[in-house]
Amino acid sequence: MMRDQGYLSDEILVKEARDGSEAHFNALVDRYIGLVYRVAFSVTGSAHEAEDVVQETFLRVFRNLDGFDPSKAAFKTWLLAIARNQSINVLAHLKRKAARFLTRTQAAEDRDNAEEENFPHEMPDAETTLLSKERTQLVQQALAKLPEKQRTALMLKAVEGLSYAEIAEILHTSASAVESLIYRARSKILEEVEQ
């Protein structure tokens, strides 16, 4: 099924996928599933929800490939903008659910904190060998407390190595706004971790 599409550029894969090639679409899935999953996980804070977001995102990409305009955006930023948008919808839903749950009973609060699938973050499959587990946990908790936009901007920069310009496209903002989102994210995390 999948042959050697791995070396082809995004542009070519998209073009062939548009023309109906299943193999080329699948190569795009293979290329970007990790990135989409991490964005979804970073935004929603839930491994389970991230899986759903990944499914929905690629389905949406498939349905809308013909509406994608390569002259306006790179495929990668277009894809990640869709993934983030899907993730934000899920996050809003999770928050509403949590809010309803909290108003129902006061006693639920502690339980909710303990059980909440959403936050605090815990990265699955984390390699914690080089770091103290405790510090890693502090960083993740601080990360989870950040506003979504700051968290996503920082993640796309520090983990994925995207440029400010690419991140700006995904977040619908300017490169200088991205720079300050990332700066504020770092400041807050360091404040929390090092106090």
Partner 1 sequence: MNCEHYRKQLSRQVDIDLDRALTEELEKHLAACPECRSFRDGVKALNREFHTVGRTQPPVGLAERVKERVDRQRRRDRVLLPAWTRVPLVAMITLAAVGLGNLAGRSISSMLIPDRSEDAVEYTLVTQAPSFADLLTDNGSEENGQ
Tokens of 82: 């869709």
At 187, which amino acid appears? S
Q: Which one of 6-14, 81-89, 96-104, 105-113 is the stretch in contact with partner 1 (CB under 8 A)?
A: 81-89
The rounded Cα 180 to chain-centroid distance in angstroms is 19
Q: Rule CB under 8 A: choose which of 105, 113, 128, 174 binds partner 1.
A: 128
* Least distance CB 105 / partner 1 (angstroms): 30
Q: Two tokens at 136?
A: 């890693």
Rounded CA gap, 146 and 164, in Å?
Answer: 19
User: Binding residue for partner 1 (CB under 8 A) from 12, 33, 99, 102?
Assistant: 33
18 or 111: CB nearest partner 1: 18
109: contact with partner 1 by CB under 8 A: no
In angstroms, the CA 195 to CA 162 distance is 30
- Return the number of the residue (107 or 130) whose C-beta is nearest partner 1: 130
The two structure tokens encoding residue 66: 């013909």
Interface with partner 1, residue 15, by CB under 8 A:
no
- Give the separation between CA 5 and CA 27, rounded to whole angstroms: 6
DSSP 8-state code for residue 124 = T
Q: Which two tokens stand for residue 111?
A: 């339980």
Among 8, 112, 120, 186, binds partner 1 (CB under 8 A): 186
CB 36 within 8 A of CB 83: yes
Q: Which residues bind partner 1 (CB under 8 A)?
A: 20, 22, 25-26, 29-30, 33-34, 37-38, 41, 47, 50-51, 54-56, 58-60, 62-64, 66-69, 72-73, 78, 81-82, 85-86, 89, 123-128, 130-131, 135-136, 139-140, 154-155, 157-159, 163-164, 172, 179-180, 182-183, 186-187, 189-190, 193-194
